[in-house]
Structure 1
Amino acid sequence: MQDNNKVVNPEGINVKRIETLVDGIFAIAMTLLVLGITVPSIVNPTEADLYRALYDLLPNFYSYFISFVLLAVFWRINHTQFNRIKNADNTLLWIMIFWLLFVALVPFSAFFVGEYGNFQISNIFFDLNLFAIGFLLFLNWHHALNSGLVDESKIEVGKSSLKITLMLPAISLIALGLTFLPFLKVYGYGWTSLVYLAIPLLKRFQ
């Protein structure tokens, strides 16, 4: 008897196994983010020393918050996509593999920005990392829609959500472009990450 919880295509690719891999990578990446915030080591600290140490960690907390929320959004969108994908092929599998490659890189990107957020290169690296995640997420959905991998009853809804998915890499490019504004050399490049807060405010995640 066939297990209805498993969807297998003629190429032998199990959709549920892909979802399991995605969940595992996201769980690890989101957990590793907190490692970018280390407890200050101060010999004979005073109350003032601890307040100052926490204040110095604010960029790390900021980077942690932004990155955690973004990973949650990316996971949510991918989860919604796979609720509509009934089948998989080798192309979709490899798109997902490369997508997860960049997802797993987010903790490093977050640490980099947390430690060196006042430098342009750290923010460029972070923006390019998120652009790759957003673009591959869009590419995955575009391929699924155009390759007959999506449940036929959900194709129309899927097509309408394709534009929403395209907004993810677009926002990353906006953030990247902002890093080249001259006045940010004075006020700090880290402010460009605020653009990403627009992603959770999208009307829906499809």
Structure 2
Amino acid sequence: MKDEKTGPERLNALSDGVIAIALTLLVLGIDIPDDHDFNQDGLLAFLIKLEPALIAYVTSFLIVAIYWIIHHRIFNVVSFVNRTIIVLNIIFLFSISLIPFISKLKSLYRYDFFVVGIFAMAHIITGITLFFIWNYLTANNEYLKFPVDRNMKRNIAYKILVIPIISAIAIPVAAFNIHLGTYIFIFIPVIYGIIFRNKNQS
């Protein structure tokens, strides 16, 4: 039985909706500290108490935004999708939907190695799934609007793999130094920004 092809419009609409909701839910992970005295403590003290939640929020927001940018770039060249692409995309969206909850855990238990591992694994699974989508599409040109050249294929693959690679590095780093392992995820948007900037200048 031949795999049925369909347009990518509904898949894109669902993906945009799930990612938009995930980005919105991330801010709910920032709680007002119970022990803060607004009459005595200043703004700086307030922000210091919020620092774990703010770091988790900003890092997760930027990473999810990167996922959306790459996903948009991928499906901008897609004419048709099939069951395999839809299933892989659902796995990708499932991982995305978990990030607000995992980000909240990371803000509450930022120095817990197990939580850092969960946070890293969530991004490894999400990034690898998006890589599989891209690899499948570029191996089957009939689903694309035009054949993708080697440079474009490699460039997008590198941008996807930045996230799971740094996330994988974070696990042994956290085992050695939990503080460094907690903050290593900040390098993901930094490195992505460098790659994107260099690509635009080339």
TM range (shorter): 0.7 to 0.9
User: Counterparts in 2 of 1:45-124, with a 5 A limit?
Assistant: 45-48=38-41, 51-124=44-117
Question: Equivalent residue of 2:96, what SS?
Answer: helix
Tell me, in whole angstroms, the C-alpha distance in 1 between the residues paired with 2:154 and 2:50: 41
Q: Tell me if the contact between 1:117 and 1:188 (Cα under 8 Å) persists in the aligned partners.
A: no
Matched, 1:36 2:36: no
What letter is aligned with 1:166? L
Q: Tell me if the contact between 2:70 and 2:156 (Cα under 8 Å) persists in the aligned partners.
A: no
Structure 2 spans left out of the alignment, 5+ residues = none
Q: Tell me if the contact between 1:119 and 1:188 (Cα under 8 Å) persists in the aligned partners.
A: no
Q: Among 121, 133, 143, which residue is 1:140 paired with?
A: 133
Closer/same/farther in 2, CA of residues 23 and 72 from structure 1, 3 Å limit: same
State the TM-score, normalizing by the size of structure 2: 0.85
Please say which of residues 84-93 and 10-19 is displaced more in the overlay: 10-19
Q: Tell me if the contact between 1:117 and 1:189 (Cα under 8 Å) persists in the aligned partners.
A: no
Matched, 1:190 2:185: no
Q: Tell me if the contact between 1:59 and 1:117 (Cα under 8 Å) persists in the aligned partners.
A: yes
Tell me, in whole angstroms, the C-alpha distance in 2 between the residues paired with 1:87 and 1:16: 9
Deviation at 1:176, TM superposition (A): 2.2
Matched, 1:17 2:37: no
Q: Among 142, 154, 161, which residue is 2:155 paired with?
A: 161
In structure 1, what is the equivalent of residue 170 of structure 2?
175
In the comparison of the two structures, how many residue pairs are matched? Answer: 195
Deviation at 1:191, TM superposition (A): 2.3
Question: Equivalent residue of 1:171, what SS?
Answer: helix
Structure 1 spans left out of the alignment, 5+ residues = 1-9
Deviation at 1:152, TM superposition (A): 2.5
Tell me, in whole angstroms, the C-alpha distance in 2 between the residues paired with 1:95 and 1:196: 23
Matched, 1:152 2:149: no
What letter is aligned with 1:116? Y
